[in-house]
Amino acid sequence: MKTSNKTIYWIFTILLSALMITSVVRYILDLETFKSNFETLGYNGRIVIPLAIAKILGLIAIISNRIKFLKEWAYAGFFFNFLLALESHIALNDGYFLGPIIALTLLIGSYVFYHKVYINKINQRTE
């Protein structure tokens, strides 16, 4: 059972990583369009580059699995990013809400299975 949970964790995490890397690459390759898109959503367009950097750093924190509290903060940051993206698209009624829903699903799956595989394992050793 532990092996399958670990496999599921990595599937969710790899898919989430692929989605975030694709997002970052798109931000960089089409910066002006994304600045305009963010402004349409009600955000300052200058946030695109810091958000891309934050996404890369968040992925490093999640994949490296070295500093537990940093990994938890990365999950939280992604959660709020995806939740705000979903809210913005719903408020605009622009039809682009599926991306944030997929991202939230992958994030929650990664987080839940991270805890099943790694955190429960640590808690069992300390009991």
Q: Examine the pLDDT at 25 and tell me if it is beyond 80.
A: yes
DSSP character at residue 45: G
27-62 per-position pLDDT tens digit: 999 999 999 999 988 899 999 999 999 999 999 999
The structural domain count of the chain equals: 1
| CB-based contacts of 19, cutoff 8 Å, min separation 6 | 102, 103, 106
pTM: 0.87
Q: Domain of residue 7: give its range.
A: 2-126
Could you give the angle at which helices 98-114 and 68-92 cross, rounded to 10 degrees? Answer: 160
| Mean per-residue pLDDT over the chain, rounded | 91
User: What mean pLDDT is predicted for residues 83-106?
Assistant: 93
